Structure 1
Amino acid sequence: MTSLPAMHEVLAAVLGIRDGSLRVLLWQRALAPDAGRWSLPGGRLASDEDVETSVRRQLAEKVDVREVAHVEQLSVFSDPHRTPGPRTIATAFLGLVPSDADPELPPDTAWHEIDALPATAFDHAGIVDSARERLRAKLSYTNLGFAIAPAAFTISALRDHYVAALGHPVSATNLQRVLTRRDLLEPTGDTEPPGRAGGRPAALFRFTDRTLRVTDAFAVLRPPAPGGAERRSGGPADAVLP
């Protein structure tokens, strides 16, 4: 049995915290198949490109790639029936945009809440789920928080970013303890302007390193156990954030 060679595309699941929720960048398809549905940015792999060169080129058509703080290969999606027509294999990437970045978007492109996705094309909703799980995992054992947080932040604001990304409650005090123990945070020396209620201005912090590195290979940022007690699996590297 003779089969035609599969086509190859690259896709980017670009995530960011917007208005307190984790969102993904999608563009609305104008042509069949799946016209009117929302799709991850990407396209065909050119004959003279590797996959990372291709995804960065195609991202540049939808978003200023200088605003993307981190890009990494996510997975290969090769189900023979993932798209109609000729078989198409997709290499998907995770991209992260800090919350203080505001890339200019074309009219057909917008941020969408991951927990309230519109009708998506093909298998793109599953790719978004994979991207979210990769982000959640890497927030546990790397310094990847730098790629979703603003350049400077209060601890409570950083906690809100982790809550949005992880999907469970996080203690600001314990988050600061864990990240400080890993030597990931440093004070900027500045404070946040006081609000209407007054009070002591909150100190501003930043990540010590904005390049990805593993900080605690076996750590897991776990939700609180029922009743508010800490939940542990026993290892010294566990990071529990009740």
Structure 2
Amino acid sequence: MNDNSGGLAMHEVLAAVLQVRDGQLQVLLWQRGIEPDAGRWALPGGRLGNSEDVQTSVLRQLAEKVDVREVAHVEQIEVFSAPDRMPQERTVVTAFLGLVPCVADPALPGDTAWHPVTDALQESPRTAFDHGLIVRRARDRLRAKLSYTNLGFALAPPEFTVSSLRELYAVALGHRVSATNLQRVLARRGVLVPTGGTAAPGPSGGRPAALYRFAERGMRITDPFAVLRPPESQHSPEGAVHLADPRAAP
């Protein structure tokens, strides 16, 4: 435990950068080369500069340290200030959620890699300090905001079929999603816009699927009372998406 009585705490920024890759929700981590926690995997970030705000700092450090410039959305999720969160010098961290579209493939240094969020939350690989907790909070924030905002734009490519968008939502939410229900919900909220184009037919042929895009490439609240829930039981329709009003009685 650190002893910083009478001194000032350091302030750092960290980003849990998430992306749907290879059919999984993944988080960007780098492997620490020095103590404390040498060999463990950490979130990218660093100390806050004297002349910058926290969001400017985290974007700068993502670009400089891990070459992530294609962040479609970034938002502050929480401040972590437990006195013993770092073993040497007391450090307060402002944590961010960052989202990278599924089509982006940023160049990464040799000590940096994408890891499935589920693995990071199970300490495989072992994460540094309280970074596993930050990853969990970032994942939970993403899942919550997919329910009542248009935040899916930050995970999706510029154009997509409803089926491919369904796959992105299912991976991010961690449960089955019906393409029909998803299209109906997002269309009602004015989130999706048809491009007029179609996707190339698959190997089995069939009717070309219509292409869509998000109406906006910035986050907005679309339904403040909606909640996307997984199927409630084995009797629920295959791939169901349940929308509930949290104001209603259970």
TM-score range, shorter chain: over 0.9
Change (3 A) 1:2 1:20: closer
Provide closer, same or farther for how the CA distance between residues 25 and 187 of structure 1 changes in structure 2, counting only shifts above 3 A: same
Give 1:237 shift. Answer: 9.1
| 1:139 and 2:142 matched | no
Corresponding residue number in structure 2 for 1:115: 118
Task: Look up the match of 2:44.
Answer: 41
Aligned counterpart, 2:245: 235
Partner in structure 2 of residue 196 of structure 1: 203
Asked if 1:94 is matched to 2:94, the reply is no
Deviation string, structure 1 residues 87-126 (Cα, Å, up to 9, x no partner): 1110001100000111111111111100112111000000
Q: Deviations over 1:9-44 (max 9, x none)?
A: 100100010011100011111111111111000011
Note if 1:167 corresponds to 2:170: no
Aligned residues: 238
Correspondence for 2:160 among 138, 153, 160:
153
Q: Deviations over 1:181-209 (max 9, x none)?
A: 00110111111111211111111111011
Mapped contact 1:153–1:205 kept (Cα < 8 A): yes
CA-CA distance at 1:86 after TM superposition: 1.5
Q: What CA distance in whole angstroms lies between the structure 2 residues aligned with 1:153 and 1:95? A: 21
Distance 1:197 1:231 in 2: 27
Q: 2: CA distance between counterparts of 1:165 and 1:188?
A: 24
1:10 aligns with 2:22: no
Does 1:28 pair with 2:38? no
SS at match of 1:102: coil
Give the TM-score, by structure 1 length: 0.93
Give the alignment's TM-score, normalised by structure 2.
0.90
The gaps in structure 1 that reach 5 residues or longer are none
For residue 224 of structure 1, report the CA deviation from its aligned partner. 1.2
**Measured at CA, do residues 24 and 183 of structure 1 come closer, stay the same or move farther in structure 2, by a change above 3 Å?**
same
Identity of aligned residues (%): 66
Q: State the secondary structure of the residue aligned to 1:66.
A: coil
| Contact 1:6–1:87, Cα closer than 8 Å, also in 2 | yes
CA contact (8 A) 1:219 1:237 kept: no
Distance 1:219 1:233, change over 3 A: closer
- Structure 2: tracts of 5 or more residues without a match: none
Query: Segments of 4+ in structure 1 off by > 2 A?
Result: 62-66, 229-238
Q: CA RMSD in A?
A: 2.0
1:9–1:89 Cα contact (<8 Å) kept: yes
Report if the CA contact (8 A) 1:225-1:231 is conserved: no
Q: In the superposition, relative to structure 1, how do residues 31 and 12 fare at CA in structure 2: closer, same or farther (>3 Å)?
A: same
User: Aligned-pair distance for 1:64?
Assistant: 4.0
The equivalent of 2:72 in structure 1 is: 69
